A and B are shown apart, each in its own frame.
Chain A
C-alpha cells in the first residue's frame, strides 16, 4: 500500500511503537526559543539530568522578547545563554544574529526534506514547507527531545489539500491559507498532517509555502507538508552542495519522500482559488474569515507587519509596493518587524525600509514581540490591530485588544486608509 510523505518520514525514523497508535521517532533537529525552553532546562537541572543528546542537532534562539524588556525576560535570556555555553551549542542566536525562529532556522539551512524536527512552539509546522515532518510540542516533549533525541507521535493520518486555479492579483498565500481554515475550521485537521499539493503550491516560492504551512496548526494540524521540488533544492543548495554532486541528484534523493500515487489519505480536499478575494479574520478565532470587502470601514489603531507567517523579504517587498509614495493614516501606528537580520539587511539594501520609514512606519529589530503581546507593539484595551500574524485569539496582542489577520498587501493598504481595506492601491500601482 502506498504511503504519504509523513508516513515515509515516520518509517525512516521509528525507534519504537509502544502501543498501536503511538510511534516514537528519532529527531533530527530540536529547535529552542527562550519562552518554552528555560522551564525545560530548569526541570532537567532539578532532575539531575542537565545533558543534551547532541549539541550539533540543537538550534537555539532568543526571539520573542529581544532585547529583554524587564528582569524576567532578561532571566529567560540568561538561562538560554548559559545553557548554550555549558553544552557547547554552537548554533545559538543571540542579539545581533537573532530573529523569528521559523524564519531564521530555514534561512540558516537547518531544515531538510525528510527530516524530523520538534520545537516548543506551535508554528513549528512552518518547516513542513521543505518536506520535513516538523511539529510543535510542549515543554516536556522538548525536554525529552533535548535529553534523548526522541519524541512520541500518534500515527500521521494525512489529509491532502489540492490547491488549483489561478491566484488573482492582490491575493496571496496568506489569503489561500485563511480560505482553507475558514472552510475546514479550527478543528478541521486536528491530529492530522496536511499535505498541500497542486499547481498553486508548485508555483509558490519557499516564502509562500512557509506561510501556507505556518498556519496549518490554526486548523489543528500536527504539521503541514509540501513535497520537495526544484525550488526546495534551489533554496537549500548553498547548504547542501557538498552533499550532492548536482541539484538533480539532490532532488532525486529527496524524491524518495514524495507521496506514492496510491497513498491513503483520510480526506482529500479540492480547493480552487480562482476568484479568491483578499481575506481577513473577524472575531477571536482564525476560522472567522471573510472577504476584506465585507468588513465595512473597520477603524484600526495599529498595523503590524512581521511574524513567522509574513515577516519575510517577499512579504516586505509586497507591502512596500503598496506603501510606496503614500503616507499611513495619522490615526494608525505602523510597526514593521523584519523577521531576521538577513531580511532586515536585504530590505535595507533594496530601499524597502526607506519606503516603510517614509510612509510613517516604525521599524523594529527582528522579534516576535507584538505577535503574542509581549513587547514592541502591545495593544491597549479596546484597540484594533491589522496584522500579518497568524493568531487572533482574544488578548493575543494585549488584553482587550482585537487582531485582524491578513496578507501584507492588505495590511499595508489598511495602514494608508486607516481602516481595513483591500489592496486595490496595490493593483493600481501594478498597472502604472
Chain B
C-alpha cells in the first residue's frame, strides 16, 4: 500500500485541469517515469514555480474541481512519480478521482469551509499532513499547531487503496469473462 503522508503543497485555485497537471505534449510518453519532470509545467498560478515548489512535497491541498478536463491517467501518474499520493480538495472531477483510487492513491474531499480554514491557517507554513485510512483521520501539523480532521472514505475506495488499485481488486473479484 502507498504512503499518504508528508510535506504539503498548497495550490490556491479552483478548476485546475489535467492539461495544467500534465500537458498533452507529453502524452507521447509510454512510461510513467518519463512524466516526472513535467508535473504542473503549465499551471496557471501566480508565483508558482514547478521545479522549486514541487520538490519534496507529498500531499496537495487545493480548491474545488481539481483534475477537470481530459481523462488522462497521466495526471495521477505524474503526481505518483513525484511521490504525491494524496490530494485534498472540496471536490474533484469524476475521472480524475476514479483514476487516483484506481492507482491505489487517494483523494480526500472536505467541506469548502474546512479547506478555507486549512489555507488560512497553514498555507504560509511548512505543513505536514498524514492520512490515517483505517480511522479516516487527517493529522495536520505545522509549527506548534496540530489538529485532526475526520474524512469519509467508502469501503470500496478503501478496498482499492488497500489492494493497491483497481486491477488488483478486479483480479480478486471478477473472473466472469475470462476464458
A contact residues vs B (CB 8 Å cutoff):
15-16, 18-22, 24, 26, 35-36, 38-39, 42-43, 47, 49, 51, 53-54, 65, 70, 72-73, 75-76, 79, 120-122, 124, 136-141, 143-144, 147-150, 152, 154, 186-187, 190-191, 220, 222, 284-285, 372-374, 391, 393-396, 399
A154: chain B residues at CB < 8 Å are 94
B68 touches A396 (CB 8 A): no
CB distance from B112 to the nearest CB of A (A): 12
The answer to whether residues A137 and B30 also contact, given A36-B72, A122-B70, A148-B170 and a CB cut-off of 8 A, is: no
Check B170 against A187 for contact (C-beta < 8 Å).
Answer: no
B20-52 Cβ-contact flags toward A at 8 Å (1 or 0): 100111011111100000000010100000000
- Contact status A15-B94, CB under 8 Å: no
User: Is there a chain A Cβ closer than 8 Å to B95's Cβ?
Assistant: yes
Taking A79-B30, A140-B166, A148-B170 as known contacts, 19 extra A-B pairs with beta carbons closer than 8 A to each other, sorted by chain A number, are: A16-B174, A22-B156, A49-B171, A53-B177, A65-B28, A72-B30, A122-B95, A138-B98, A138-B99, A140-B73, A140-B167, A149-B176, A152-B98, A187-B65, A190-B93, A373-B25, A374-B27, A394-B44, A399-B42
Q: Are A141 and B102 in contact (CB under 8 A)?
A: yes
For the complex, what is the distance from the CA of A122 to the CA of B70, rounded to whole Å? 5
Taking CB atoms and an 8 Å cut-off, the chain B residues in 143-159 that contact chain A are 154-156, 159
Give Cα A72–Cα B27 distance, bound, in whole angstroms: 10
Tell me how far the C-beta of A70 lies from the nearest C-beta in chain B, rounded to whole angstroms. 7
Q: Which 9 A-B pairs have the closest CB atoms?
A: A138-B99, A140-B102, A138-B73, A139-B73, A19-B156, A72-B28, A122-B71, A136-B71, A393-B19
Which residue on B lies nearest to A75, using beta carbons? B30
- A285 and B102 contact, Cβ closer than 8 Å, known pairs A73-B28, A137-B95, A141-B166: no
**Bound Cα distance A313, B27 (Å):** 29
B94 near A16: Cβ-Cβ < 8 Å = no
> Assuming A141-B102, A144-B166, A399-B42, is B32 touching A15 (CB within 8 A)?
no
- Cβ-defined contact, B95 with A19, below 8 A: no
B173 A42 Cβ-Cβ under 8 A: no
Chain B interface mostly: loop
Contact B71 A150 (CB under 8 A): no
Contact (Cβ within 8 A) A220 B20:
no
Complex CA–CA separation, A393 to B28 (angstroms) = 19
Closest B residue to A72 using CB positions: B28
Give the size category of B's interface with A. 35 or more
A394 to chain B, nearest CB (A): 5
Closest-CB distance, A69 to chain B (whole angstroms): 9
| Bound Cα distance from A15 to B177, whole angstroms | 11
**Pick from A53, A137, A220, A396: contact of B65, CB under 8 Å:** A220
Q: Is B76 positioned at the interface, with any CB of A under 8 Å from its CB?
A: yes
Residue numbers in B under 8 Å from A393 (CB-CB): 17, 19-20, 69
What's the least CB distance linking B161 to chain A, in Å?
A: 13
A396 touches B167 (CB 8 A): no
Contact A42 B30 (CB under 8 A): yes
Rounded to whole angstroms, the CA-CA distance of A125 and B159 in the bound complex is: 28
* List of B residues within 8 angstroms of A16 by Cβ: 173-174
Q: Are A21 and B154 in contact (CB under 8 A)?
A: yes
CB distance from A55 to the nearest CB of B (A): 11
- What are 27 contact pairs spanning A and B, CB under 8 A? A16-B173, A19-B155, A20-B154, A39-B30, A39-B32, A65-B28, A72-B29, A137-B98, A138-B95, A138-B96, A138-B98, A140-B73, A140-B166, A141-B166, A148-B170, A150-B174, A152-B166, A187-B15, A220-B65, A222-B94, A374-B24, A374-B25, A374-B27, A391-B69, A394-B19, A394-B42, A394-B44
User: Which residues of the other chain, A, contact B165 by a CB distance below 8 angstroms?
Assistant: 140
CB-nearest residue of chain A to B160: A152
Interface string of B47-72 (1 = CB under 8 A from A): 00000000000000000110011111
